Chains A and B, each alone.
Chain A
Amino acid sequence: MLTTIERIVFVVLALTSVGFTIHGIKTIVDSVRKGRSAPEVKNIPASLVKAGIAVLFQRTIFRTRKILSTIHLGLFFGLITYAFVNLVDILEGFIPGFDLVYGGKHPAFPFLNSGIINTFNLIADVMSGALLFSVTVFLVRRFIVKDKQLTYRENILLNPKVKAGGQNKDSLIVGTFVILHVAARLMGQAFRLTDGADAFTPIASFLNGIFGASQTGVHVAWWVSLCWVLYILPYITRSKHTHFTVGPVNLGLAKQNPRGQLDPAVPAGVRATRTSPIPEPGAKFLHDLSWKRILDSYACVQCNRCQEVCPANFYGRPLSPSALEVNKRYLIKEATFGSHPERLLLPLTETVISAEAVWACTTCHACVSICPVGNEPMADIIDIRRRLIIDGAEIDSGVQNALQSLATNGNWMNKGKRLRGRWAKELEFPVKNASEEQVDYLWFVGDTASFDERVVPNTKIVARIFNEAGLDFGIMYQNESNAGNDVRRVGEEGLFEQLVEQNMGAFGKAQFKKIVTTDPHSFNTLKNEYPQFGGKFDVTHYTSVLVKLFDEGKLTVKNKLSNYQVTFHDPCYLGRYNGEFTAPRKLLEMVGVKFNEMPRNCETSFCCGAGGGQIWNGKVAPGERPAENRIKEALTTFDKNPSDKKLLFIVTCPKDMIMYSDAVKTTGKEGKIEVRDLIQLIAEAVGLEMPLEAEAVASAA
Chain B
Amino acid sequence: MNIVVAIKHIPSIADDLPVKGNNVDFDSVDFVLNEFDEQSIEQAVLVKEATGGTVTVVGVDMIGELDGVLHLALAKGADKAVKITGDDPAADSHQQAKWLAEAIKGMSPNIVFAGVQASNDLDGQIGPMIAAHLDMPYIGGVSSVEVAGDTATVNKEFAGGFGAKYAVSLPMVVGVQASTKPPRYAPISKVRQVAQTATIEKVAPSGESSARLTMKKMAPPVVTGHAEMFTGSSKEVAAKIVDLLKSKGLA
Interface of A toward B, CB cutoff 8 Å: 277-278, 281, 389-390, 392, 394-395, 397, 400, 403-404, 407-409, 414-419, 492-495, 497-498
Contacts and interface: CB of A to CB of B under 8 A. Distances in A.
Closest 7 CB pairs of A and B: A416-B15, A494-B189, A494-B188, A416-B14, A495-B188, A400-B185, A390-B187
Contact of A404 (B30, B185, B189): B185
20 contacts: A281-B189, A390-B187, A390-B189, A392-B184, A392-B186, A400-B182, A400-B185, A403-B185, A407-B188, A409-B14, A415-B14, A416-B30, A418-B15, A419-B14, A493-B189, A494-B187, A494-B191, A494-B192, A495-B187, A498-B192
Nearest to B182: A397
Contacts of A397: 182
Contacts, number: 59
Contacts of B192: 494, 498
B86 to A, nearest CB: 22
B105 interface: no
B32 interface: yes
A407 B190 CA distance: 13
Nearest to B12: A416
A397 B187 CA distance: 14
B106 to A, nearest CB: 30
Interface residues of B, number: 18
Contacts of A404: 185
B16 interface: yes
Contacts of B182: 397, 400
A395 B185 contact: yes
A392 B185 contact: yes
B108 interface: no
Contacts of A403: 185
Contacts of B189: 278, 281, 390, 493-494, 497
A415 B12 CA distance: 10
Nearest to A395: B185
B193 interface: yes
Contacts of B32: 408
Contacts of B186: 392
Nearest to B69: A408
Nearest to B76: A392
Interface string B115-151: 0000000000000000000000000000000000000
Given A392-B184, A407-B191, A494-B187, 19 more contacts: A277-B193, A278-B189, A278-B190, A278-B193, A390-B189, A392-B187, A395-B185, A403-B185, A407-B188, A408-B32, A416-B16, A417-B15, A419-B14, A492-B188, A493-B189, A494-B188, A494-B189, A494-B190, A498-B188
A698 B245 CA distance: 34
A400 B193 CA distance: 20
Contact of B187 (A394, A416, A492): A492
Nearest to A281: B189
Contacts of B190: 278, 390, 494
Contacts of B191: 407, 494
Contacts of A495: 187-188
Contacts of B187: 389-390, 392, 492, 494-495
A404 B190 CA distance: 14
A315 to B, nearest CB: 25
Interface in B9-31: 12, 14-16, 30
Nearest to A400: B185
A540 B16 CA distance: 33
Interface in B139-194: 182, 184-193
Contacts of B185: 389, 392, 395, 400, 403-404
A414 B14 contact: yes
Interface string B55-77: 00000000000000000000000
A409 B15 CA distance: 10
A362 B18 CA distance: 39
A403 B197 CA distance: 23
Contacts of A418: 15-16
A175 B200 CA distance: 69
A397 B181 CA distance: 12
A498 B190 CA distance: 12
Contacts of B15: 415-419
B71 to A, nearest CB: 11
B36 to A, nearest CB: 15
Interface string B29-46: 010100000000000000
Given A278-B193, A408-B32, A419 B16 contact: yes
Contacts of A419: 14-16
A389 B191 CA distance: 13
A416 B15 CA distance: 4
Contacts of B14: 408-409, 414-416, 419
B193 A497 contact: no
A4 to B, nearest CB: 70
Contacts of B16: 416, 418-419
